[in-house]
Amino acid sequence: MRFKYLLILPFIAVMLSANAQSKTNADSIATKMQWFADAKLGIFIHWGIYSVNGVDESWSFYNKKLPYKDYMSQLKGFTAKNYKPEEWAALIKESGARYSVITTKHHDGVALWKTAQSKLNVVESTPAKRDLLKPFYEALRKENIKCGAYFSILDWSHQDYTGFLKDSSRYKIASQPERWKKFQSFYMGQLKEVMGNYKPDLIWFDGDWGHSNEEWNAPAVRSLLLGYNPNVIINGRLQGYGDYETPEQNFPITRPKFHWWELCMTTNDNWGYHPDDTNYKTPSEVISIFVDAVSNGGNLLLDIGPAEDGTIPAPQVNILKELGKWNKKYGEAIFETLGGLPQGHFAGPTTISKDSSTIYLFVPGHLSGDVTIKGLDTKIKKITALNNGENVKWKIVGKISWSAVPGLVFVHVPPTVKDEYMSVLKVELEKPLKLYRGSGGL
């Protein structure tokens, strides 16, 4: 499934270059993407009936780990009784995140709002008995956090969707095109509700694999959304009709080709609530992955999975808080910056200020001694440590007077610069950044 998804990425690129043909269109995409490019960090929330028994979200019945009816019996246990959306929003704010994406409906088809398209929603079919999205989006907006709506376009519970369990499907579109049309109007209807009721800033599709853009009617879906809000951002899981790429869990080694991208990642190994999964990433690991994503011009969408009553597991709260503490100290090097130096100039993550007069170097917390910058063709004005403002010394090594190749910059990281997780050095330049990218020599 994930490989399948990767195969569609070139189509997304094609789509973007098609957009680029019209400058106005490209400009308006860049304008609408600006808040996203500046935001760097989002919090993903997987909340649904799967949290009742702590089973895999939707996949548990699809993969036949448990019978569909046992999975659905979790409806009875989904109470949301300790749900405090303001506290969720405050925690997200504290983490430093600037947007949040919640599962309005996962592949199991259980909607977190009272959809007119189906009774399979938490208002009519669970003891929670209320719209869970509205108060969350309101709380986010009060905190000035952008609102994202995850929406599974496939729906394994819907009688008119083609797929059901991993080894069984309901029908083939070619043999029952009318039935597929019914399904199309079902998801279009739900999307209208999501757009109309909550006015999200971002739609995060999932589950587009298995059908082509024609089958999904992807251009019509895209224009429907843009009709509600011309500035809505659409992730890349719409068979070529999205605005940005979404590598999942696996960290890209080379910079993704697509201009905007976002790594979505779990805090432990599961998207939803899984009390038996204690394989949490440490704050230090999360921060270094976050910094790496930003250094490569991307965002991190970090997932949490609340329990059925709305409690966020303590280790996830801790990760968000630690991330927040770090962002408070070093946010200048992260938010509203540009992706950093291309590979080869610095052995670690970097970012660049928008006016390209400053480079931020990220140095693992335990490191002191020298780090080097290669190929820096602009004079350094000064280097300071972001944690304490201390001046940091540097030395240019191997500069040959008659050669165009810049010398190596040895930056002497003093022990006092040390951060528990990741230290940051601020390199201010005399002029906008210029890099030497050659292979050396005369």
Q: Site residues (CB under 6 A) for ligand GLC?
A: 46, 57, 59, 206, 248, 264, 271
| Residue 243, amino acid | D
Cα separation, 142 vs 136, whole angstroms: 10
Q: Which is nearer to ligand GLC, 151 or 241 (CB)?
A: 151
Minimum CB distance to ligand GLC smaller for 248 or for 370: 248
The residue written with tokens 């939803």 in the block is 272
- Distance in Å, CB of 289 to ligand GLC, minimum: 15
Q: In terms of CB distance, is 106 or 345 closer to ligand GLC?
A: 106
In the complex, the smallest distance separating the C-beta of residue 89 from ligand GLC, rounded to whole angstroms, is: 21
Query: Measured from the CB of residue 380, what is the shortest distance to ligand GLC in angstroms?
Result: 41
**Site of tokens 């506290």:** 87
Nearer CB in complex with ligand GLC: 40/46: 46
| Residue 6 beta carbon to ligand GLC: minimum distance, rounded to whole angstroms | 12
Q: From edge to edge, which strands make up the β-sheet containing 422-429?
A: 338-339, 350-352, 358-364, 422-429, 380-385
Looking at the Cβ atoms of 193 and 248, the one nearer to ligand GLC is: 248
Closest to ligand GLC by CB, 153 or 425: 153
Q: Could you tell me the smallest distance in angstroms from the CB atom of residue 103 to ligand GLC?
A: 7
Inter-residue contact 77 to 130 (CB < 8 Å): no
Q: DSSP for 319-375?
A: HHHHHHHHHHHHGGGTTT-EE-PPTTSBSS-EEE-TTSSEEEEEEETT--EEEEE-S
Distances (CA, A) of 372 to 10, 149, 229, 331, 429: 36, 43, 47, 23, 16
The nearer residue to ligand GLC, 201 or 206, going by C-beta atoms, is 206
| Rounded distance between C-alpha atoms, residue 381 and residue 378, angstroms | 9
Q: Residues 31, 222, 100, CA angle at the centre, nearest 5°?
A: 60
Comparing every residue's Cβ against ligand GLC, the nearest one is 264
Alpha-carbon span 200 to 312, nearest angstrom: 23
- We find the least distance from the C-beta atom of residue 432 to ligand GLC, in angstroms, to be 37
Q: Give residues with Cβ within 8 angstroms of 79, minimum separation 6.
A: 126, 127, 128, 308, 309
Contacts of 66 (CB under 8 A, 6+ apart): 55, 60
Least distance (Å) between residue 107 CB and ligand GLC: 6
Shortest distance, position 57 Cβ to ligand GLC, whole Å: 5
Output 60 or 350, the one with its CB closest to ligand GLC: 60
Q: Which is nearer to ligand GLC, 62 or 180 (CB)?
A: 62
* Beta carbons within 10 angstroms of residue 346's beta carbon: 24
**Smallest separation (angstroms) from ligand GLC to the CB of 299:** 13
Residue from 166, 96, 67 nearest 321 by CA:
96
Sheet holding 394-397, edge to edge: 369-373, 408-413, 394-397
In whole angstroms, the minimum distance from the beta carbon of 354 to ligand GLC comes to: 29
User: Nearer to ligand GLC by C-beta: 208 or 292?
Assistant: 208
Alpha helices in 199-351 (DSSP H): 213-216, 218-228, 283-295, 314-330
